[in-house]
A and B are shown apart, each in its own frame.
Chain A
Amino acid sequence: MTQLKDKDPLGKVIVITSGKGGVGKTTSAAAIAAALAKRGHKTVVIDFDVGLRNLDMIMGCERRVVFDFINVIQGEARLKQALIKDKRLDTLSILPTSQTRDKDALTQDGVEKVLNELKEQFDYIICDSPAGIERGAQLAMYFADEAVVVTNPEVSSVRDSDRVLGLLASKTKRAEDEGTEVKAQVLLTRHDQRRVDAGEMMTIDDVLEILAVPLLGVVPESPAVLRASNVGMPIVLDEPSEASRAYEAAVARLLGEEVDMSMSKEKKPGFFSRLFGAPA
């Protein structure tokens, strides 16, 4: 419906962040970027985890990295040279980070310049944040228009997400200059319905009640995630799975479409809404 209509002049910057490590940020950044690109949106995904480059492996382009984000920031290469075009989707590009330098190589001015240049060429700029709340994570969120806070239904992850939501509301350009907010939504990942049913895992509602931000989606714990990472496929480009459908649905919501959340609700949905509830 909104496909050709609102042609935004500048791309939208979306940070994928969490505070806690290992909750699924990189998996989600790759999946969200690929799902947007699949829908025809020109999308770039940037690795902000300087020194611990991993997005390239998840995207399957690790053998093609020549120049990186840091080379561009330091004026050693042009942006065009550092961008890797995905071989599967021509609407998708990857900007890898440096494996050999550290977070101090990121400067606020440098990041801003690169993002501004990317905004001219892409509809969506997906920033894969490092864990923590230090420099790297702060710079990944600083210029964001929107945020996806990846959370696992587990105490330390939820606590860290709360902390990150606080930073999004205060330590971003939007918060500082414009007094506008970065729109933040929670993406609950590694959700295990059986453990919820057994009372071992917090429910979606429990988590939302605590964090008090909208829910973008629920991604189940799924063996498909490991499989896809083995072969370097963003999950939505690999064989269809519950996890890939969950990411497709989350991206549909990110684009403002109304997608039934039934798949992810605790109350058992009917078989059909379970199977077909989330349009691809």
Chain B
Amino acid sequence: MSLFGFSLRPRRAKTAQTAKDRLQILLAHERHDGSDGPDYLPMLQADILAVIGKYMQIKEDDVDIQMERNDEISSLEINIEIPSAKQEKPVASGLRGRRAR
């Protein structure tokens, strides 16, 4: 692909290529996001909280957003911890007894 590079390529230290690849992926995202950066994420999070909040009670801490930026595609993983019965106070012994036997 490059005009002069093909015979030199294989000899190039492998880590330099890794460095270039990492930068290309990262900078493509940074340039694309521009100065707005990933700052929509706080708003996205607030919206998610509001929507879920219509149906059940959750705290801000119960929303976990993970991102993995890749070459072709980036993924945004949103995990919401939904409160279960056991969070509603430990009614304790009765329940535990039933489970045991």
How far, in angstroms, from A42 to B41 measured CA to CA in the complex?
28
The residue of chain A having its C-beta at the shortest distance from the C-beta of B15 within the complex is A230
How far, in angstroms, from A98 to B36 measured CA to CA in the complex?
11
Tell me if A63 and B69 are in contact (CB < 8 A).
yes
**Nearest-Cβ distance from residue A240 to partner chain B, whole angstroms:** 16
A121 interface residue (CB < 8 Å to B): no
* Chain B interface, DSSP helix/strand/loop, else mixed: helix
A227 interface residue (CB < 8 Å to B): yes
The residue of chain A having its C-beta at the shortest distance from the C-beta of B34 within the complex is A100
Contact count band on A:
20 to 34
Contact count band on B:
20 to 34
How far, in angstroms, from A98 to B42 measured CA to CA in the complex?
13
Tell me if A231 and B18 are in contact (CB < 8 A).
yes
**Set B35, B64, B67, B69: member contacting A100, Cβ < 8 A:** B35
Interface string of A156-176 (1 = CB under 8 A from B): 000000000000000000000
Contacts of B61 in A (CB 8 A): 78, 80
How far, in angstroms, from A64 to B65 measured CA to CA in the complex?
10
* Contacts known (A71-B42, A77-B45); A64 close to B68, Cβ less than 8 A: yes
Contacts of A100 in B (CB 8 A): 35-37, 39
Interface string of B9-43 (1 = CB under 8 A from A): 00001011011001001100010000111110110
Tell me if B30 and A65 are in contact (CB < 8 A).
no
How far, in angstroms, from A91 to B76 measured CA to CA in the complex?
24
Tell me if B45 and A63 are in contact (CB < 8 A).
no
A232 interface residue (CB < 8 Å to B): yes
**Nearest-Cβ distance from residue A179 to partner chain B, whole angstroms:** 38
* Contacts known (A78-B60, A78-B61); A66 close to B41, Cβ less than 8 A: yes
**Given A57-B26, A67-B65, A100-B36, 4 further pairs, Cβ under 8 A:** A66-B66, A76-B42, A227-B15, A230-B22
Chain B residues in contact with chain A, CB under 8 A?
13, 15-16, 18-19, 22, 25-26, 30, 35-39, 41-42, 45, 60-61, 63-70
